[in-house]
Amino acid sequence: MERQLPAGRPPRLVSSLGLGQRCSEVTLDQERGLLAWRHPRRGGVYYVKKARNHRWWCRDVTFWCVDENLCNQWTQALKELLEMQKCRPKRLLVYINPYGGKRQGKRIYEQKVAPLFSLASISTDVVITEHANHAKDNLFEVNINKYDGVVCVGGDGMFSEVMHGLIGRMQKDSGIDQNNPKAPLVQCNIRIGIIPAGSTDCVCYSTVGISDPVTSALHIIVGDSQPLDVSSVHHNNTFLKYSVSLLGYGFYGDILKDSEKKRWMGPMRYDYSGFKTFLSHHYYEGTISFQPAKHTLGSPRDKDSCRTGCYICKESEQQLAEQQKKCGLKNEEDEEEWKVIKGKFLAINAVNMSCACPRSPKGLSPAAHLADGSADLILVRKCSRFDFLRHLVRNTNQNDQFDFSFVDVYRVKSFQFTSKLSEDNGSNVADIGKKRFGQFCRDHPACCCNIADSTWNCDGETLDSSAIEVRVHCQLMKLFARGIEENCKDEAAYSHSSIEHLL
């Protein structure tokens, strides 16, 4: 695309062209009078173009002008505008998992992302991970202050590693004991960017609206920021893990446990193990206690979803800040009511965000909020296979997946779970399980009886304990994202050539 530079003073021209406020460095090609990138082979200005389904493209436009003086003014004005954009990262630390998803992480980064970072003059230190926990351990050692953000290339597991590294490092540096479930955690202000290259990519999809490496790279470049709730998971005053997407016991725990043995199948492993787990139809007995989230305005049955600039998330942040001011570090929660539910469950799912992903475009809880300090607790009680299938299918379409007599949903700020087996017998749950049912049920996966215990699926990783205590920490960390943008009703708006953000 070619455009002539309009006459007049450049800063005003920038706004009259609708170039937005963000721009990166452009240089002047003196001979041809072009505004050009420093990139030697291509002239022009690069910008973000929004397409359908939340996809962003990088496009370029070439400006020309015979008046060299005017060109100089433009270059200067754009440079100054760029300097004013303090939210844009200049230096990033990048971790690539070469084995996530379809094992394309390295190629995706090199071919689609690195060229964009270099166009936007972002410098990077790249680490290709050699083993699990490489990124997490590394984040405890690096000089983190050198960077404006950390990028992970991989799936939810890789993101979880980076998040654990950053949050853990933050608590360590501030002298906070992560094993104390009541400790007020210190917010992590260094943003994480996710370049999706995993099997589910639920965190990316739920915060951007699409799993697309180019779109995510552009959100990083323009310096977006989206706060995110994080749940801490403890057992007996021992820290187990943090979770941002799904904490699932029963159905999703069993799928994960089975699918780990089939990693070689790639993303298909979840369908295979999902089908197997669906047929086994195991239910689990236990007690779940929770504190309802009273500070937030929303409810899990709301029709509206969390979108860019969500007022419910903003309101919750304020409410919680006021509460904290009032009580200081003392925890008011202890005095608040706990609800207790005993039962037989096919699935217990606690989600901090909608958990939308390509398999379930609206997610496990479409009205869950990214940053409201609450999680949605979905209890699917024992029911027939057919009814469970009806519920599962609704996760893939527009119908209400909670509209069943065997499904309950609550918005909570903390919860605890103990399985009947551990309640009855205290310790050594594994042995008891094996003695009672383990052998029989594993040999007859279709028998439907309640085997020993399920496993918790914590953002795609298994937890060692079935008895857990969970607390949601409002906006504990930030992503290079802006939440899902409201879909423009008028499709034509996507086809005109408006320039959203200069790179």
Catalytically annotated residues: 156
Radius of gyration of the chain (CA): 25
Residues 142 and 292: their CA atoms lie apart, in Å, by: 39
Which of ligand 16C, Ca ion, ligand ATP, none interacts with 229 (beta carbon under 5 to 8 A by kind)?
A: Ca ion
**Single residue of 369, 382, 394, 471 touching Ca ion by CB under 5 A:** 369
The amino acid sitting at 366 is P
360 binds ligand ATP (CB under 6 A): no
270 binds ligand 16C (CB under 6 A): yes
Tokens of 323: 């509460």
- Segment near ligand ATP (CB under 6 A); pick from 153-161, 187-195, 332-340, 423-431: 153-161
CB atoms within 10 A of CB 424: 11
- Segment near ligand 16C (CB under 6 A); pick from 23-31, 78-86, 161-169, 454-462: 454-462
User: Phi/psi at 193 (nearest 5 deg)?
Assistant: -110, 140
Buried b / exposed e over 109-142, threshold 16 CB at 10 Å, is: beebbbebbebbbbebeeeebeeeebbbebbeee
Q: Could you tell me which of 461, 456, 446, 406 has the C-alpha nearest to residue 254?
A: 456
Alpha helices per DSSP H over 186-344:
202-208, 213-221, 251-260, 268-280, 311-327
Which of Ca ion, ligand ATP, ligand 16C, none interacts with 154 (beta carbon under 5 to 8 A by kind)?
A: ligand ATP
Is residue 69 within 8 A of residue 11, CB to CB? The reply is: no
Contact pattern from residue 234 through residue 253 relative to ligand 16C, giving x for each residue in contact according to CB under 6 A and a dash for the rest: -----------xx-----x-
Residues in 190-219 at the binding interface with ligand 16C, rule: CB under 6 A: 200, 202
454 binds ligand 16C (CB under 6 A): no
Q: Which is nearer to ligand 16C, 50 or 359 (CB)?
A: 359
Q: Could you tell me which of 207, 216, 196, 201 has the C-alpha nearest to residue 484?
A: 207
**Single residue of 199, 291, 352, 455 touching Ca ion by CB under 5 A:** 352
Q: Which is nearer to ligand ATP, 64 or 99 (CB)?
A: 99
Q: Which is nearer to ligand ATP, 156 or 254 (CB)?
A: 156
Q: End-to-end alpha-carbon separation of the chain, Å?
A: 16
Q: Which is nearer to ligand ATP, 400 or 464 (CB)?
A: 464
Max Cα–Cα distance, the chain, nearest Å = 87
Question: What is the contact surface with Ca ion in residues (CB under 5 A)?
Answer: 229, 352, 369, 372
Question: What is the contact surface with ligand 16C in residues (CB under 6 A)?
Answer: 155-156, 200, 202, 245-246, 252, 255-256, 270-271, 274-275, 278, 355, 357, 359-360, 364, 389, 392-393, 395-396, 457, 459-460
